[in-house]
Amino acid sequence: MDMSGKTVLITGASRGIGEAAARVFADAGANVVLVARTSGDIERISAEIGDRAMAVTCDVAEYASVAAAVEQAVARFGAVDVLINNAGVIEPISHLRDSEPAGWGQAIDVNLKGVYHGMRAVLPGMRAAGGGTVLTISSGAAHNALEGWSHYCASKAAVHMMTQALHKEECEAGIRAIGLSPGTVATEMQREIKASGRNPVAALEWSDHIPPEWPARCLLWLCGPEGDAWLGQEVSLREEGVRRSVGLIR
């Protein structure tokens, strides 16, 4: 997959899937814009990638911050061709009866409103350019409730619907909207889940999780013509056929 001349903006790019995606897309020739709330890691990763990368500090929970990040990306590279909505939080894990309203609301601000902010900020430019791709990290939690994850499950379910809505509204404008449910991935989020001791996911061993490079490679694959079969839908990386098509297994 050749992404030369294309610009990809990735939220939550300081580690995990976001960092892996930045490296995978850069290897494919893309310009990459790494977005995160703090600058240290994204500046390091950007420097390691080179001139086709830039780091932008941004709080996805604030629309003005996201819009400013998109403006910086356009000023540097001319456009945003692909948006990867990856930023997300799992904390605070708790039962509803014990949940802290501010923390519960902050998770919604990041996981749901952050995705909306990204979509809203890139859509005018994508429409003017005649198209673009919006890829959003989904989760099995969008479809199955898990103990202690009311905030996460609710936000991911809403994001799944928002991807469908974006497809219905913008597909005729050439905008491709797809969700990716990667399964459990070996990232810092899984360490937080393990520490909580809540629900079956916390019982998994580190070796049960896939490496972040797998969903990163799937995101690149979805930018190609093979991704057209999934427009407005959610791809599950748990499925062997998908893994095989992406080239992750034989």
Q: CATH number, domain at 68? A: 3.40.50.720
* The two three-digit tokens of residue 134, written as one number: 């919006």
Question: Residue 39: how many CB atoms within 10 A of its CB?
Answer: 14
- Indicate the number of domains in the chain: 1
| Percentage of the chain lying above the pLDDT 70 cut | 99
Helix/strand/coil for 233: coil
Average pLDDT estimate for 144-172: 95
More confident site: 111 or 184 = 111
- Is 25 among the domain residues? yes
Backbone CA torsion sign across 71, 72, 75, 79: negative
- Is 247 among the domain residues? no
- Decide if 88 contacts 191 (C-beta within 8 A): no
d(CA 214, CA 98): 35
- Is 248 among the domain residues? no
- Is 123 among the domain residues? yes
What does the pLDDT read at residue 199?
78
152 a catalytic residue:
yes
In terms of C-beta distances under 8 Å and separation of at least 24 residues, what long-range contacts does 39-48 make, across chains too? 40/14, 41/14, 41/15, 42/13, 42/14, 45/13, 45/14, 45/19
- Is 169 among the domain residues? yes
How sure is the predictor about 171, in pLDDT bands with cuts at 50, 70 and 90? very high
What does the pLDDT read at residue 208?
67
Domain range holding 191?
7-242
- Is 66 among the domain residues? yes
- Range from 55-59, 115-119, 179-183, 199-203 carrying the lowest mean pLDDT: 199-203
- Is 249 among the domain residues? no
**Selected catalytic residue, list 25, 149, 152, 214:** 152
- Range from 65-69, 82-86, 89-93, 220-224 carrying the lowest mean pLDDT: 89-93
- Is 1 among the domain residues? no
Say whether the peptide bond before residue 92 is cis (omega within 30 degrees of 0).
yes
